[in-house]
A and B are shown apart, each in its own frame.
Chain A
Amino acid sequence: MIEFLRQPWPWYIAGPIIGLTVPALLLLGNKSFGISSSLRHICASCVPAKIPFFHYDWKKEAWNLFFVFGIFLGGVLAAVFLANPHPIEVNPALADELAGYGITNYNNLIPADVMSWKALVTPRGFILIVVGGFLVGFGTRYAGGCTSGHSIMGLSNLQWPSLIATICFMIGGFVMANLILPYILSL
């Protein structure tokens, strides 16, 4: 059983269970699934300054912080008890492309060659880790949600603004991955 669980889980197992998070949160406490809001709550609780956007009763939304701390714990549990002993298998075309940028280490979920403490001070590592993170935080709040809030919760509730947001997430991702990222990884 444990051996079975250690393998990567297929999409048709993972996807439907991720979808069940939507009714689980609604039934447990009338909460709409959404993760990027946690970043706003962290700002509101730690550095609200005099910014109206961060002045609200974030304690009412504390469930969201418990939820993301749970995701962190889940990461710990998966890594300790259910770690996949094999490197991640990717499409050979991707492996070829990445090898051209010197990315050959598939032992972690993130590419250790460009995303590590050592790589943080290189131009491409800095862009992936720091600039990328900034764009994720800025963009999700500007869009009013991320993959969970818009693409899963919003689409589940047939919200057309969420469909527009999801299409824009994908356009942004395609443009970055195919047109801009090759230049960044070549730095």
Chain B
Amino acid sequence: MALDPEFKPDHGDWYCTSCDVPLQQQKVQVLYMNSAFDVILPRCPECGLTMIPESLANGKMAEVEALLEDK
């Protein structure tokens, strides 16, 4: 399977302030309501803190969330 496209920060270079290291693009698993999504997101290599770019949060991720939430 082709490598999943990366979701990079909308702008700028981001650091983890706790660990003082730059975020790296890493494969993470996003879980919501028993569904799992493997995507590549900016992540702190030390503590694992993951950033979700605003465009993704307000875009595809919001759409997916709405579809998973059942009546």
A, B from the same assembly: no
A residues contacting B by CB (< 8 A) are none
